[in-house]
Structure 1
């Protein structure tokens, strides 16, 4: 029985140390949680990582962790929202700043730039999630929400039936480009830009065909 108690004592001491360290950390609890999770994923992978381990690394007790993110999927949503905010902080593009396709290209490349510090961790997460359909299913609404905001940042309305079509089209282009980005080690993300450009060009062609000949002169993209 004595040997069984030793790990418990060590873990408790480590938890206290983590919480003490967090008191001198000027980052918010949410930021500490996201950063700690991304670091752990690189070191350990995603699938077998427990919420208790994540909370300990972030200097958060279980109750604090639950209040911020009650599940691992919720932590991912926090990361996605952080990335959304970084993109949106650069402002909304207007119609006089290029075609819809060009504006979408600029906005999505902002997004990939913002995601760059987490590329290795996101690769691990997506690899593990392929074997966990439930995690993939729960992430789809968050993806749609993010793409709606990317449309707004590009100066395109994301509401109504037309907005739904735009979101679906942009989500498809983004996911295809994401696969390239995960393997793109170049400093300028040339391969990522090339894939994104092709995907948006394809969507633009599809949108033109859907509009019919009476609107062929318009140069909007993604179902506009």
Structure 2
């Protein structure tokens, strides 16, 4: 099995090739040559290019989590998430052209767009964790997916904002989080209204059979054979 260092080298080579090529143009032979390894090593590192992309995104997730400022928890949830997302964009900065080329293909490939959304949603879950916002179940899924959609819009702004400090990006992130707060408020109100209804349905489904009928195994059921 390849070492962690070799795996990272293969992932880095793939991302570097994305700088000048679209994802569909990158061959596994090119990845192997760029990484200075044999092609069987590339196979041992991944099942395909999308898996290399997922590995890259995990690396960014881990870097954000490592660089999280402990004092961040003293801020409001919105401010914490703002700082986390800006940190993520800063870490993506050296790979801007790679991401630009990736998004060119995403715009024309619905299957890749769907796959990328799933990966981004997974990363957004960890960005929420980095901001000290942890949910479970449907709420976690909803928040992660909503943040993934919003972050995609932010990335489009980021790709075209080369100004120092990225003022347009900061406005885009702030607007996205403001919209998110509004939607979460509405979702919470719906959840409060729906909770008693769902609880009642749950009790109804768990209610025991009170018809008084018994099973055939009791010897008294309607299906029991009657002999003269």
TM-score by length of 1: 0.76
Deviation larger for 199-208 or 108-117: 199-208
Mapped partners of 1:33, 1:95: distance in 2: 34
- State the match for 1:184 in structure 2: 161
Among 138, 156, 174, the residue aligned to 1:197: 174
1:69 matched to 2:46: yes
Work out whether residues 73 and 131 of structure 2, in 8 Å CA contact, stay in contact via their aligned partners in 1: no
Mapped partners of 1:173, 1:91: distance in 2: 21
1:100 matched to 2:77: yes
Mapped partners of 1:196, 1:115: distance in 2: 15
1:59 matched to 2:36: yes
1:158 matched to 2:121: no
Among 95, 103, 120, the residue aligned to 2:97: 120
- State the match for 1:84 in structure 2: 61
Matches within 5 A, 1:6-85: 28-85=5-62
TM-score by length of 2: 0.75
Shift in Å, 1:90 = 1.6
Superposed CA offset, 1:178-207 (max 9, x none): 111111112312111110000100111222
- State the match for 2:123 in structure 1: 146
Work out whether residues 73 and 132 of structure 2, in 8 Å CA contact, stay in contact via their aligned partners in 1: no
Larger Rg: 2
- Secondary structure (helix, strand or coil) at the match of 2:47 reads coil
Work out whether residues 121 and 147 of structure 2, in 8 Å CA contact, stay in contact via their aligned partners in 1: no
Q: How well do the aligned residues superpose, as a CA RMSD in angstroms?
A: 2.2
